[in-house]
Structure 1
C-alpha cells in the first residue's frame, strides 16, 4: 500500500517543525535492554527493544530527521541515511558512534543529498547510496567523506513527491556484480487522459520512461570499477520496489507497496520472485488475477500467463520497506528466516515480521494464513498464496505516553547478532537484542 500516503503525512509533519512527531515519542523504561535504554515496545519472548539514539518522552531532542537505512562499519560505528525533508536537498549521511551503557553520538559526514535512502557496501569496499535520481559512492574512511563522492548511476527519474508518486530509489548488487535499481510508478493506476498508448497499454510503464520497473546496470568489464549507463529492463509492472533483497542462493526478491485503495482490507501487498522478462501486473492487476478499477478491460490478461503472479500475498497496506535473512548468532530461532519491516500507518503496519523460507529464500505459504491487526487480533487472508508470520514486535501500536505506532524502515543484523532498525517517523534507531 500506500507508502505514499504515509510519506505525505510524514512530509506534512516535517515541513511544519515536526508537530506530529512531537505529539508521540517513545518512553524509556527503568531497566536496560542489553546495555541500552529499554523502550516500551513489546517483543517476542527472549527479546527486548533498546534505544540507540533519538527523541523520547524524557528527552525530546531530535537530531535525525527521517532515518531510513543502516550500515555497520565496525563494532561501535554505523552509518545512517537521513532523508531530512521531503523537499529539496536536505538529506544527509550520519556516522553513529555507540557502545552499550554509553550515550550515542552522531556526526554528520555528508550533507545536501536529495532523498537518500538505501546504503550498501559495494564489491569494491566503498559505500553506495541511492538518491532520488542517482546512485553515488564514497569512501567512509577518509577524513572528509563528502569530498570522495562520485556518481555511479545517473538519469534515474526525478520523480518528485506528490500524489501517488514514488520518488525514492533503491538498489542491490546482483551475484555477478551488476547493479539492480528500482524505478517507481509515477501514479497509482495510470488512469486519466493521455495515459494509454495506441495499443491500449499504460504509457507510463510501457513507454520510453520504463516506469514501474527494475533496471539492470551492467558492471564494466574493463576493471575501472564502474557500471555502464546503458541499462536493460529486467522486470516490469512493479509499482514500488523500495524493498529489494538477494538471497545467498541468488534469488532476487521484491516486496511491493500496492495500490492506494480506500478499503482497509484490499489490495494485498505482494512478495515477488524477480526473473528476467516478467511483467508483474502494474497498473492492470492486483493479487493473483484481479483487475484494478482503471483497467477492467485487462481481466483476461491478468488471468493469463503473461501476468507473473506473486510468490506470496502480504497484508493489505502493510507497506513493506526492507527485508533480509537473519544470519546472526544472538537469536538461533530466527536463523535463516526472512525478516521484513512493515512501515504502514494503518492497523496492519508498525511491525517486524519473520517468515520460514525454502532453499531459495522464499517464504513458505501455509494452509490457513492469517495476518495480525492492531485492535482486532488476526484476520484470515481468504486468498492464496500467503503465510502466517511470526512477529518480532507483536505490540508496537500507538499507546499514549508510551510510544507511537512503529514505523520501521531499514534493518541490519549487527556483528553480534542484534537487529538494528530505523524508525523514520519517530527519528530513532532501535536495537533488538536478547532479554537476559
Structure 2
C-alpha cells in the first residue's frame, strides 16, 4: 500500500464504513435498536481511522507472540530482527545446564556442547531435532564429560569436541555415538581445581589442515599473592607447557594431527573467541585482565601472525603497561615487540565466540564479524556485528562509542575502535523477568538465522527476520 496519509485515510474510512454497512444489512432484520448500534460502531471505527491517519499514524498493531514460528522472547532487538526461544528450562528445571557451543548437522538437527558445571564431570553433548511445529526433541549423545566447550564439524563429517585436557571426535550419526570417541589431541592443560584460570580447549581448523588450539594463561596477571611480579619476565607467557599461547598441530597425513606442536603466537590471555576467515585471516577475541576498574582495560580483537607476542601480561590495549609489570620493563608496550590489537572492545565485554556472517536471511549483515559479549557487567549481554574489509578484519572508525545498560553510550577515547551494530540492544536485566543476557556460542543456520546459546539462562535462541 502507498505510504501516503491521505490515501490511507480515504482507504481506511471507506473500508470501515463499507464494513459497517454490510454488517448493518446483515442484522437489520433483527431489529431497529441493533441496526442503530451497528451504524454507530461503523461511524466510530471510521472516525478512529481518520484521526490516526491525520497524524500520519496507523492504528497500533499488536506485537505477535512468535518470532518466525518460535515463541518470541521479550528481548529488545534491532529493527527487523526478533529472538525466538528454541530450548529453555521447563518448570524451573534445566534440560541444558550450561549450553556453550553449537553446530548444525542438517536442516533439522543440531549438536550442543553443555559445560555441565565447573570442576565436574557433568558435561554432555546433546542432539536437538527441530520438529515441524517449531518444537524440539532433545537427546543426550555423550555424558560424563569434563567441561566440554568447543564444538565443530570436521572435513570428515565427524564432530570434534574440546574437553578439558583433550580434543576428541565422534560420529554423531552412529547408533551409539559414545562408542566412536577417538582422542585426537591429548595432554592439554587442565584447571586442577582452579589452579589454572583458563582451561577451556578452544580450537579451529586452519585452511592447510592444521589444528589451532587455545592454551589459556594459568593466571590473571602472572603476579604473586601480593600483586607483584616474581621475576623480570613472566614464564607463563614466554615458555613451557602452560604458556599463554596458540598452539599449531600439523596434520599427520593420516586423518589426524602430529603429537608435537609449534607455538604460533604468544602473550594471549585466553583465546576462547577464535575464528578463521575464508581468506585465511585468523582473529582472536581477547578476554582481558580482571581489573576491578570498571572502564579498564579494553578487551581486544587481535589479528594473529606467526611468531608475534600480543602483550599478556605486560601490556593492555594498544600501548599501556599493566600496573603489576610497569616497573619491570619486561616489554616496551609501544614498540614492535608488542603486537597491538586491530580493534578495541568495551572493558569486560568478554567475547566468547565470533564468526563472519555469510547467510541469506540478513543481507545487511553480509560479511560482518558477529560476536557474543558474555560479560556480566553493563557492557556485556549482547550479540553484535562489526563491518570488515575483504580479508575479514574489522574496520576501525572515528569517535566510536560502546553501549551501556542503564547509561548513555561511552566513548572509547582510543583507537582502533568502531561502532558495533547491536542486534540485541535490550537484553539487560529486567527485574522479575530475566537476568542480563549471557550469550556464548554462535552459529549461522542453513536458512541464515543466527543461533545463540545463553549459558546463564540455560537457553538456545534463534535470531530471525521479524515476522510471526
Give me the TM-score of the superposition, normalised by structure 2: 0.83
Please tell me whether residue 254 in structure 1 is matched to residue 288 in structure 2. no
Equivalent position of 1:176 in the other structure? 208
2:140 aligned counterpart, secondary structure: strand
The aligned runs of 1:314-333 (5 Å cut-off) are: 314-333=345-364
- The answer to whether the 8 Å contact 2:346/2:379 transfers is yes
Q: CA RMSD in A?
A: 1.6
The correspondence for 2:324, drawn from 275, 294, 306, is: 294
Equivalent position of 1:33 in the other structure? 67
Equivalent position of 1:213 in the other structure? 245
1:168–1:161 Cα change, 3 Å:
farther
Please tell me whether residue 94 in structure 1 is matched to residue 126 in structure 2. yes
Please tell me whether residue 409 in structure 1 is matched to residue 443 in structure 2. no
2:333 aligned counterpart, secondary structure: helix
RCO comparison, higher one (Cα < 8 Å, 6+): 1
Equivalent position of 1:434 in the other structure? 465
| Greater Cα radius of gyration, structure 1 or 2 | 2
Alignment deviations for residues 379-435 of structure 1 (CA, whole Å, 9 cap, x no partner): 000111011101000010010233211000001000001000000010000000111
Equivalent position of 1:425 in the other structure? 456
The aligned runs of 1:42-53 (5 Å cut-off) are: 42-53=76-87
Which structure carries more helix by proportion?
2
Equivalent position of 1:266 in the other structure? 296
1:298 aligned counterpart, secondary structure: coil
| Unmatched tracts of structure 2, length 5 or more | 1-62
Cα separation, 2, equivalents of 1:79 and 1:192 = 41
2:83 aligned counterpart, secondary structure: strand
- The answer to whether the 8 Å contact 2:388/2:395 transfers is yes
- The answer to whether the 8 Å contact 1:291/1:299 transfers is no
Cα separation, 1, equivalents of 2:191 and 2:264 = 20
Equivalent position of 2:4 in the other structure? none
When the two structures are aligned, how many residues end up with a matched partner? Answer: 402
Alignment deviations for residues 318-348 of structure 1 (CA, whole Å, 9 cap, x no partner): 0000001111111111111110000000000
Cα separation, 2, equivalents of 1:203 and 1:74 = 45
Equivalent position of 1:21 in the other structure? none
- The answer to whether the 8 Å contact 1:196/1:203 transfers is no
Cα separation, 1, equivalents of 2:355 and 2:194 = 29
Cα separation, 2, equivalents of 1:100 and 1:201 = 59
| Unmatched tracts of structure 1, length 5 or more | 1-28
1:207 Cα deviation (Å)? Answer: 2.9
Equivalent position of 1:346 in the other structure? 377
Cα separation, 1, equivalents of 2:400 and 2:171 = 45
1:112 aligned counterpart, secondary structure: strand
1:236–1:263 Cα change, 3 Å:
same
Equivalent position of 1:386 in the other structure? 417
Q: Which 4+ runs in 1 deviate beyond 4 A?
A: 193-197
1:300–1:40 Cα change, 3 Å:
same
Please tell me whether residue 72 in structure 1 is matched to residue 98 in structure 2. no
Cα separation, 2, equivalents of 1:37 and 1:243 = 29
1:288–1:164 Cα change, 3 Å:
farther
1:302 Cα deviation (Å)? Answer: 1.2
Cα separation, 1, equivalents of 2:403 and 2:145 = 37
Equivalent position of 1:9 in the other structure? none
1:382–1:163 Cα change, 3 Å:
farther
Give me the TM-score of the superposition, normalised by structure 1: 0.89
1:319–1:191 Cα change, 3 Å:
same
